[in-house]
Amino acid sequence: YWRTEPSIREIRPYGLRLADRRWYLIGYVEESQEVRVYGLDRIIDIDITERKFEFPEDFDLATYFEGCCGVIRQGDIQKVRIKVTDNQQKYVDSLPLHGSQRMIERNDEKNFAIFEYHVKLAMDFTMKILSYGASIEVIEPMGYRRKIADIAEKMSKVYGIN
């Protein structure tokens, strides 16, 4: 994604994935000899060759992206708990942040719900958490809570608010 110049790749296509309104091609790249992910909107041209390949029996798209919120596969799957307030809990409940989402507590009187996830803490999940602003509080893990707090502090400085 970070390259400015087009490049040519020979790819054995393994599948497609939709994440955050963008389609991605997942395939084995001959040059690097590894599976990579490419946004379809960034592909300029495709030449379909006559070359055949055997789809690996041990490759499964769901397993490849297990714990992922989008297409970023960094990190290990971790248990995350968040507290959702400001009447956003019904929205989060009806439109889950991740497929592993499970509501573990709901308090209508105090207007909050606690959700649990088993997810990789990559940037795409972090962006979803941050998109709810102060309506979402990360409860655990503590390291991730600190990371979100650090980002919120930097945002506050950007806006000139102490």
pLDDT cut 70: percent of the chain above it = 98
pLDDT at 162 over 70: no
Complete edge-to-edge strand list for the sheet that includes strand 136-140 = 102-107, 112-120, 77-84, 136-140
Tell me what the mean pLDDT of segment 140-153 comes to.
96
Predicted TM-score (pTM) of this structure:
0.85
Q: Tell whether the model's pLDDT for residue 4 goes beyond 80.
A: no
For residue 77, pLDDT beyond 70: yes
Query: How far apart are alpha carbons 71 and 38 in whole angstroms?
Result: 10
- Kindly report the average pLDDT of the chain as a whole number: 93
Render pLDDT for 104-142 as a digit per residue (tens, 0 to 9): 999 989 999 999 999 999 999 999 999 999 999 999 999
- How far apart CA 3 and CA 119 sit, in angstroms, is 28
